[in-house]
């Protein structure tokens, strides 16, 4: 009995020390990252206002901005290429969470240039790289073990996302959930929550403001079956939108790589193509697109009047070109635009009812599908739109997550689950290297069905075939 008490006391003491250690470390890392990311966000805001001083349309700078972004990244930090978060995931899984110090300033500068000129990119990729890079530097300075360094870097990712999104809980969960599809690392939850909350609070103290939307959905009964059926259908639609996004994003990147011309010419040409598209489609698909997002989520429907049905498809094209030719920035902010506008389109197809609700569901559900983060997306819905939307968002987000399949805008994600029991996938591999096949017993079922159909067809043909008349002598 005495031995048991001693063991329990030892266990509780060890847990207390571990919890205390990570509370202190994650709080400190959250403050540092919150301050750095806040500076980044405020600079973007200042750049947005500075555009008005230009004597010409700001998007005329796109060809030169893409070329400059390519040169900066290629010269100083090749790991800063693309939409940021992908490289962070790759570093955690393949490089023991060691991130090059040069990535932070290079990613920030290249992204600021891209967004200022109107490149259709987001701000969360640099936020994740700032967070992960800062945490990696501190962990190495303090000679942390590989395991502790990885935990601290994941805290940095969560802090970066929480600061950019303005959703401390969803941001923290996103930083964990985005690494491995189908696995939540519970040992990182506490430090990630603390890092996310302290980073978010620090950014607010430094002057960063966030937009939240209150949606009150009044129901006469607790179970609204017609609305639930619409939400299920919306989840299927958002899964399809996510799949289209991943397909076009991947396809554009592959096509650009196959073109055998100088990389700077590709970048310049991509900028020219976007300028031409702006001439025909307008400026709403450039940059972060926050005004359009806010208009679709506004209770005043007049603000979204004139939004074309194809807005989400146009944004996919603008984003794919911007990232494909060398622009620097994140992918989640464009996904918010794609989700909100596709939700607006879906509501219009249903006759224009619940436009704000379906725009909100699209906002989070396309993220759930394209990034494989349904839990973070559901929590984000509660934080941004209120608890009245959360249960509908959960349905829509999870359906979208499954419908998108074993694909992602982050091909370095590790797969730890399969999305259908009739499919065979190899666990523990990158999504981009994963082969998805039918299970053997399902293949046998299909073969048996095909054989039966073939036999029935032969039997039917033999019955209907006319008999040859006998030769008369």
CATH match for 225-423 among 3.20.20.140, 1.10.3080.10, 3.30.300.30, 3.30.450.80: 1.10.3080.10
Identify how many contiguous H helices and E strands the chain contains and give both numbers. Answer: 17, 4
Rg (C-alpha) for the chain, rounded Å, is: 26
CA distances from 270 to 275, 281, 323, 463 (A): 9, 16, 10, 63
pLDDT of residue 82: 67
pLDDT of residue 351: 87
Whether 163 and 208 have beta carbons less than 8 Å apart is answered as yes
Distance CA 250, CA 246 (A): 6
Q: Do domains 2-205 and 225-423 have the same CATH topology?
A: yes
Distance CA 195, CA 191 (A): 6
pLDDT of residue 94: 79
Q: What is the pTM of this model?
A: 0.90
- Exposure string of 90-128, with b = 16+ CB inside 10 Å and e = fewer, is bbbbeeebbbbeebbebbbbbbbbbbbbbbbbbbbbbbb
Residue 322 CA, chain-centre distance (Å), reads 16
Q: What own/partner pairs with CB < 8 Å and gap ≥ 24 does 291-300 have?
A: 292/337, 292/340, 292/341, 293/336, 293/337, 293/340, 293/363, 294/211, 296/340, 296/341, 296/343, 296/344, 296/355, 296/359, 297/213, 297/340, 297/356, 297/359, 297/360, 297/363, 297/385, 298/213, 298/356, 299/356
pLDDT in tens, the chain (473 residues): 455 555 778 888 888 888 999 999 999 999 999 999 999 999 999 998 899 899 999 999 999 999 999 999 989 888 777 667 877 888 888 777 778 878 889 989 999 999 999 999 999 888 988 898 899 989 888 888 888 899 999 999 999 999 999 999 999 999 999 998 988 888 899 999 999 999 999 999 999 998 888 776 655 456 688 899 999 999 999 999 999 999 999 999 999 999 989 999 999 999 999 999 999 999 999 999 999 999 999 887 777 778 999 999 999 999 999 999 999 999 999 999 999 999 999 999 998 888 999 999 999 999 999 999 999 999 999 999 988 889 999 999 999 999 999 999 998 899 888 888 888 788 877 887 777 776 555 556 666 666 666 676 777 777 666 555 555 44
pLDDT of residue 217: 60
Whether 194 and 27 have beta carbons less than 8 Å apart is answered as yes
How is the chain split into domains, by residue range?
2-205, 225-423
Residue 415 CA, chain-centre distance (Å), reads 16
What is the homologous superfamily of the domain 2-205 according to CATH? Answer: Clc chloride channel (1.10.3080.10)
CA torsion, points 167, 329, 160, 359, in degrees to nearest 10?
Answer: 10
Report the candidate in 204, 232, 272 with the shortest Cα–Cα distance to residue 41.
204
Rounded to 5 degrees, φ, ψ at 15 are: -65, -40
Residue 27 neighbours by CB distance under 10 Å: 17
């Amino acid at each position: 009995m005495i031995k048991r008490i001693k063991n329990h006391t030892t266990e509780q003491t060890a847990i207390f020390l571990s919890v205390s250690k990570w509370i202190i470390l994650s709080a400190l890392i959250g403050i540092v990252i919150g301050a750095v990311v806040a500076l980044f966000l405020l600079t973007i805001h200042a750049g947005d206002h500075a555009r008005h001083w230009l004597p010409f349309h700001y998007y005329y700078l796109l060809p030169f901005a893409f070329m400059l972004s390519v040169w900066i990244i290629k010269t100083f930090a090749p790991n800063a290429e693309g939409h940021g978060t992908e490289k962070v995931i790759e570093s955690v899984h393949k490089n023991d969470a060691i991130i090059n110090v040069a990535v932070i300033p290079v990613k920030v500068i290249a992204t600021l240039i891209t967004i200022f000129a109107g490149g259709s990119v987001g701000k969360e990729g640099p936020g994740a790289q700032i967070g992960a890079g800062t945490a990696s530097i501190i962990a190495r300075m303090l000679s942390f073990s590989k395991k502790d360094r990885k935990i601290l870097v994941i805290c940095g990712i969560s802090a970066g996302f929480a600061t950019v999104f303005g959703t401390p809980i969803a941001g923290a969960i996103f930083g964990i959930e985005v690494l491995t599809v189908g696995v939540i690392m519970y040992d990182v939850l506490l430090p990630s929550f603390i890092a996310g909350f302290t980073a978010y609070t620090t950014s607010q103290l430094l002057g960063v403001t966030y937009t939240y939307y209150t949606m009150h959905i009044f129901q006469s009964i607790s179970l609204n079956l017609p609305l639930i059926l619409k939400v299920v259908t919306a989840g299927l639609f958002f899964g399809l939108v996510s799949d289209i996004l991943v397909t076009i994003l991947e396809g554009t990147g592959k096509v650009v790589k196959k073109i055998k011309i100088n990389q700077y010419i590709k970048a310049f040409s991509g900028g020219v193509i976007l300028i031409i598209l702006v001439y025909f489609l307008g400026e709403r698909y450039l940059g972060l697109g926050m005004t359009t997002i806010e208009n679709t989520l506004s209770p005043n429907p007049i603000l979204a009047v004139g939004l074309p049905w194809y807005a989400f498809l146009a944004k996919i094209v603008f984003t794919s070109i911007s990232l494909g030719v060398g622009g620097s920035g994140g992918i989640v902010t464009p996904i918010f635009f794609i989700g909100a506008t596709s939700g607006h389109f879906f509501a219009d197809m249903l006759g224009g009812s619940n436009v704000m609700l379906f725009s909100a569901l699209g906002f989070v559900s396309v993220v759930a599908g394209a990034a494989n983060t349904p839990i973070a997306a559901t929590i984000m819905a509660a934080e941004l739109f209120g608890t009245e939307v959360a249960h509908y968002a959960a349905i829509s987000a999870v359906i979208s997550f499954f419908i998108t399949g074993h694909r992602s805008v982050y091909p370095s994600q590790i797969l730890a689950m399969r999305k259908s029991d009739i499919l065979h996938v190899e666990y523990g591999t990158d999504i981009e290297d994963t082969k998805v096949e039918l299970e053997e017993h399902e293949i046998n079922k299909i073969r048996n069905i095909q054989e039966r159909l073939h036999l029935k067809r032969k039997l039917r043909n033999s019955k209907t075939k006319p008999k040859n008349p006998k030769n008369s002598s």
